[in-house]
Amino acid sequence: MTILGVDPGTLTTGYGIIELTKGTLSVLSCDAVKNESTDPMPVRLKKIFETLSLVMDQFNPDMLAIETAFYGKNAQSALKLGQARGVILLAAVKKNIPTHEYSPREIKKALVGHGNASKQQVQYMIQSQLQLKKLPKGFDTTDALAVAICHLQRSLQPAKRYVSWEAFLSSHPEKIRHHPKAKQA
């Protein structure tokens, strides 16, 4: 199984390709698409699309895992991130590569065990799980590898089935809006 993980951004888009063969996990490639802040947005998006399309052609991944958009206070940043994600998803769809999305918290939880992990903790786990002698350059690249590993872990776990909504809600009381364990907005 070959997975392309992507950490999207308009200035830097990290990507990492991992492969699981006969129980051995290895990195086939990892890098980042770097754009200049002075480049117009259409030029940045074209570079992201073309670079990742070439990576997909070269490694023919079975699936793409991408980090979902982080919704912060800056609407303009969220819009730009959405554009980068759009061209990445388009590249995958054009190559008939199934896509899966994970939130930053899900990714951190899958790698480190909790959703509030620091970037350094994620890097440490990437280096440990992939048995890398040295870390790839930049958080964007290690974050992309983390997205790929998160998807690998999720795809290997059997899906938990619930017989009813009541069974689901009893297993997840935090999902109930007025439950004491639920986060209040």
Catalytic residue numbers read 7, 67, 140
How far apart, in whole angstroms, are the C-alpha atoms of residue 40 and residue 52? 19
Which whole-number Å values give the CA distances from 67 to 11, 122, 177, in the listed order? 16, 14, 26
How far apart, in whole angstroms, are the C-alpha atoms of residue 136 and residue 126? 10
How far apart, in whole angstroms, are the C-alpha atoms of residue 181 and residue 171? 12
Local structure of residue 173 (DSSP, 8 states): G
| Lookup: tokens for 72 | 């912060």
How far apart, in whole angstroms, are the C-alpha atoms of residue 94 and residue 184? 41
Which whole-number Å values give the CA distances from 166 to 7, 23, 126, 172, in the listed order? 36, 37, 38, 10
β pairing state of 2-7 and 12-21: antiparallel
What is the CB neighbour count within 10 angstroms for residue 12? 17
